[in-house]
Structures are given as C-alpha cells and as structure tokens.
Amino acid sequence: MIEATINGETRPLPDPITISQFLKEIGIDERAVVVEYNGEIIVRGRYCTEMIMGGDVLEIVHMMAGGA
C-alpha cells in the first residue's frame, strides 16, 4: 500500500498506478481535467506513462465551460 496526496487529501493506493488508470478508477474523463504532478503540469499524452508513486502530490483541476 502506498499513499499519495490528491487535491490536498492523503489517499491510499494499493500499488503504483498511472495517472490515466487512476482517473478511470475514480470516474474522471481525462479529457476534462488538467493534472499537476509534483508541481509540474503534465501534458495529457503522458497520463498513460506517468506513475503515481508513494509520496507524490497531484492536483486535478476540472475544466468548466461557461462565462458571462
């Protein structure tokens, strides 16, 4: 078991997992978010190769449409 911080909350994960797999597991469409991984914005093409490991910090920001 490993722990990563996701949007400010410590979250247990059974094993290292790719960002893409993690987003699928929590029901988030990867096309609708931006992910900051350990302080770096990750381009969507790397979601399937970047592994979330113990101690990593992610911020997942949902895109929103709209305006005034």
Q: Locate tokens 């931006």: which residue?
A: 34
pLDDT mean for each 10 residues of the chain (68 residues): 96 95 94 95 96 97 71
E-assigned strand segments in the chain: 2-6, 9-13, 17-18, 33-37, 40-42, 51-52, 57-62
Question: What is the rounded distance in angstroms from the CA atom of residue 53 to the CA atom of residue 66?
Answer: 35
10: tokens are 């410590």
The pLDDT assigned to 68 comes to 58
The pLDDT assigned to 66 comes to 63
CB atoms within 10 A of CB 19: 23
Predicted TM-score (pTM) of this structure: 0.87
The verdict on domain 2-62 having CATH code 3.10.20.30 is yes
